[in-house]
Amino acid sequence: MKPNIKYIVLILSLMLSIFLAGCMNENTENENNQIVDENKKEVISSSPVEDFSQLTLLESFNYDYDLDGTEEAINLYTSAQKNSDGEMMWDDGQIFKLIIHDDDKIFILFDEYVQLGKINYYVYLENDIFTITVISPRTASFTVTDYVFDKDTNSFLVNRLIEKITDINMLKI
């Protein structure tokens, strides 16, 4: 009889798993209907220094967010170049990179080809926690993403606050 009991326990476990999975799917579906979806969390760790000299530096902001006495540089680069008068020659699309330079390492917060759109970033402290928010309006999407510094792991936690990537027809950027 013992094998039969094992078999019944196995079947019951499977049924419970399927039931729980069903519950979790329901939750996911509910949350997908909301604008704010905090389920998609990623972590950005440091990577080796790269050469960005071929790119155009659009903005730079310095701040010592890890309190080690040296300011980090938060730089926004684009692949679009300047003409001889120093004016930007924007194409329909270009690469944007938001990079934090910290001594012998960098953090690549954002590295995307942006078609008909732009990138704005904001740097602030929220409850004394260093945070960067990137807002990217484009003709067919609209995203707002937080990059929150985690001093314990010296990395950035990604919170995709708004991610409208389908059915968007932007009227004004």
CB 79 within 8 A of CB 55: yes
Least CB distance to Ca ion at residue 109 (A) = 16
CB 131 within 8 A of CB 125: yes
Stretch that binds Ca ion, among 29-37, 40-48, 64-72, 112-120 (CB under 5 A): 64-72
Selected from 26, 38, 68, 111, the binder of Ca ion by CB under 5 A is 68
Q: Which is nearer to Ca ion, 72 or 144 (CB)?
A: 72
Is 112 one of the binding residues for Ca ion (CB under 5 A)?
A: no
Report the phi/psi class of residue 167: left, alpha or beta, with left for phi > 0 and alpha for psi in -120 to 50: left
Strand 155-164: give its sheet, edge to edge. Answer: 41-44, 155-164, 142-150, 129-137, 120-126
Binding string to Ca ion for residues 144 to 163, with x set by CB under 5 A, is what? --------------------
What would the two tokens of residue 18 be?
């399927």
Task: Give the other-Cβ count within 10 Å of 121's Cβ.
Answer: 20
Is 70 one of the binding residues for Ca ion (CB under 5 A)?
A: yes
Stretch that binds Ca ion, among 5-13, 51-59, 65-73, 85-93 (CB under 5 A): 65-73
Least CB distance to Ca ion at residue 46 (A) = 12
| Residues engaged in binding Ca ion (CB under 5 A) | 64, 66, 68, 70
